[in-house]
Amino acid sequence: MQNNSSILALFILIFSVQVCIPVVAQKKSNMKDQTPNEVRAKKILSKLSLEDKCGEMTQLAIDVTLNGEPYNPVEPQSFDMEKLREVLIDLRVGSILNVAAHAYTRERWYEVMDTIQTIATKEKKNSIPVLYGIDAIHGANYTVGATLMPQQIGLAATWNPELARLSGEVSAYETRASAIPWTFSPVLDMGRDQRWPRLWETFGEDVHLASEMGVAMIDGFQGDDIGDKYHVAACMKHFLGYSIPWSGKDRSPAYIPERQLREYFVPTFQKATDAGAATLMICSGEVNGIPVHANPALLKDLLRTEMGFKGLAVSDWDDLIYLVNRHRVATDMKDAIRIAVNAGMDMAMVPMDTQFPILLKELVQEGKVPMERIDEAVTRILIAKIELGLFEQPFYPMSDYPDFASEKHTQISYEAAAESVVLLKNKNNSLPINTSQKVLVTGPTANSMQCLNGGWSGTWQGNNTDYDNKDKKTILQAIQDKLGAENVIYTQGTSFDKTQNLQAVTKAAEGVETIIVCIGEMSYTETPGNIDDLNLPDAQIELVKTAAATGKKVIVIMAAGRPRIVRELEPNADAFLMSLLPGNEGGRAIADIIVGEINPSGKMPYTYPRYANALMTYDHKGTDLPKYDFSMDNFDPQWEFGYGQSYTKFAYSNLKIINQTLSKDDSIEISVDVKNIGNRAGKEVVQLFITDKVASVTPSVKRLRAFEKINLKVGEIKTITFNLPISDLKFIGIDNQWIIEPGDFEVTISNLKSDFEVIN
């Protein structure tokens, strides 16, 4: 029987065959290479005991410090001071995370932080403050009354990086206003599997769009100084390959060839690393048979040596024990700790298990985890605490945050929500509607804030109405505000999967001109969001057909975190709006679009499939398209990536390429004129796609290489110019390295095309 070291070596060998990440020698550092924060961290490190260091590498959920049991605290919640002191003083735990069960008020957060940091800095021997982390992914969503922004997929639909930056800025401000300095956001996984229950937490399927939005959000979170009172440390997650599981189910295995891993999944993290993201969360899943937490080829060779990431790498929730009871690559928890720490994990999110620091100490004493690895990890943790200013001031007075949930922040949320909604169909200009008419509103998502906010909203699954912001409007309530309650009839018609009273819908339609049918999904995230069928439940399809059978105008609003198949119902809709979890202001934004006060400008951040078994991204290969008759034109989505209509019309002309023969070191200048030829002002996303006509590795049919969102008045013309380095056209070649090959390329902007050539 092989020993554990042999088993780990075998895993690494297997991975090196399947995903060959080359090992590059680490540069030895000296004092001259160290930043002042590194010098300070190592000075602190030199005074720490082994127990101190193991404690610093431990992250526990707040549950273990409260009265009651983990996952079941006594309400109203309060600290069990004996438990808290055991965690902070005896175990020297360096990080705490999360809420227990539900959102806290700001006042409660300040009580929590004051208690924790007072013990950590005044009673604990080493006086090191606690690094507290929270899933503030679309605002301070675990603080009662906070401004909730659109989820990431909604921000991606805006195609507006400035709104992503502002969203991060508001989230950072209100998270710090809750006394918390660290957010587990943004998600930089690529949303390339429409079944995945965390698709809505991504910036969509395209590498360039996701990279631009991710960097912008990190800039909003961190600003110029993550240590100031208005910014937080970002945490890019989940490194690496989490989002494209073979089964489409959360935390199930992924199989990703190295070429695809490098070309589609590494770049968002590389861009974020280059932008200075402070921390990183490790992927819960396994790639090519090796759990990422057990893979030094990813966590050391790729992430540290090749990509140059220097920050803190934290595990995800309970992922060490999962090496034992799910992945079965470790014999017990102690073995899992050895594997993960040696693989490159710096901090262990072992939420309810206080054994981690004890077992880690034993492993060091037994020589199974080298002290050098411990010191490396703890140094990174200390640097994060130093950069956040926790040694000087762990948190600031509540009075320093007058803009918490302010009208200023609400307006940013509203603008982001308004730009996130995508108009997918508008037959005969069915939208906007006349505000003097009577309407019927029906459907399971019509009167639900959960369907606007999604998961991580007050509670983990976002499905507890007790934590809705009571002054915010559902779609129904916002439409009632616009048209007058007396002009709006409401009957639910169906639940998400069962018909209730379709006859009532038919009856109610008799006195209205328009029926607004709100369909979609209830809030969810992670494993509870797994589904076996991407088709929309039959009950909702029948509801739309029932509405259409009345002969009245039918407006369909899909409120969902991922695309659900609507092929059968779409012909029954005169207009179709996609609501991509726009947040607390989503109802108001949708109502304003329906009545024409807002001109929709969202564009799809992923390809919306027409069939449940036809899941494909826009940047597919040419050979992805065979039909039964052997033709190669089988890309037929319901709506393509980048698609979205407006209430006005835009005309593109005068596509120019300044120099059509370029070398690999040049930049190409491409310009195009865009004119608003409609009858109202509107925003348009100018999208530049490039096709590599011939390559040594089969090229995609096209790739997004640049975009810009513009606002045009009626009759206005703007010339948009893109300066694109030829190096942006690189791809992963046969040897799994980035290359640029000479040859012919095609530019596509809207309906215009032109060619250029790259020479040696």
Could you check whether the bond before residue 600 is cis, i.e. omega within 30 degrees of 0? no
Q: Which residue has the tokens 């002290």?
A: 371
Structure tokens at 31: 């004092």
- Do residues 87 and 354 touch, judged by C-beta distance below 8 A? yes
Among 581, 577, 517, 582, residue whose Cα is nearest residue 546: 517
Q: Is 316 a catalytic residue?
A: yes
Alpha carbon distance 616, 606 (integer Å): 10
Amino acid at 37: N
- Are residues 379 and 41 in contact, defined by beta-carbon separation less than 8 angstroms? yes
What is the signed CA dihedral for 477, 576, 615, 545, rounded to 10 degrees?
A: 90
Q: Which two tokens stand for residue 176?
A: 């710090």
Q: List alpha helices for 388-458, DSSP H.
A: 407-420, 450-453
Q: Which helix (H) or strand (E) holds 590?
A: helix 586-594
| Interior angle at CA 616, CA 610 and CA 620, nearest 5 | 135
* Nearest residue to 320 via CA among 351, 363, 361: 351
Rounded Cα gap, residues 375 and 639, in angstroms: 51
- 154 near 416, Cβ under 8 Å? yes
Compute CA distances 538 → 103, 413, 445, 451, 724, whole Å. Answer: 35, 34, 15, 19, 47
Candidates 316, 335, 346, 468; catalytic one: 316
**R_g of the chain, CA atoms, integer Å:** 26
Q: In what order do the strands lie in the sheet with 58-61?
A: 182-183, 131-134, 95-97, 58-61, 348-349
Q: What is the DSSP letter of 660?
A: S
* Nearest Cα residue to 237 out of 179, 169, 295, 183: 183
SS3 172: helix
Task: Give one DSSP letter per residue of 79-139, joined into a string.
Answer: B-HHHHHIIIIIS---EEE--SSS-B-HHHHHHHHHHHHHIIIIISTT-PPPEEEE--SSS
Distance from the Cα of residue 106 to its chain's centroid: 25
3-state SS, one letter per residue, for 484-521: CHHHEEECCCECCCCECCHHHHHHHHHHCCEEEEEEEC
- How many Å apart are CA 743 and CA 506, to the nearest integer? 61
Q: How many CA atoms lie within 13 A of 673 on its CB side?
A: 8
d(CA 546, CA 287): 46
CB distance 547 to 572 below 8 Å: yes
Crossing angle, helix 161-176 and helix 207-222, to 10 degrees? Answer: 30
Angle between helices 371-387 and 36-45 (to 10 degrees): 130
User: What backbone torsions phi and psi does residue 364 show, to the nearest 5 degrees?
Assistant: -65, -45
Q: Is 213 left (phi over 0), alpha (psi -120 to 50) or beta?
A: alpha
Active site residues per annotation: 316
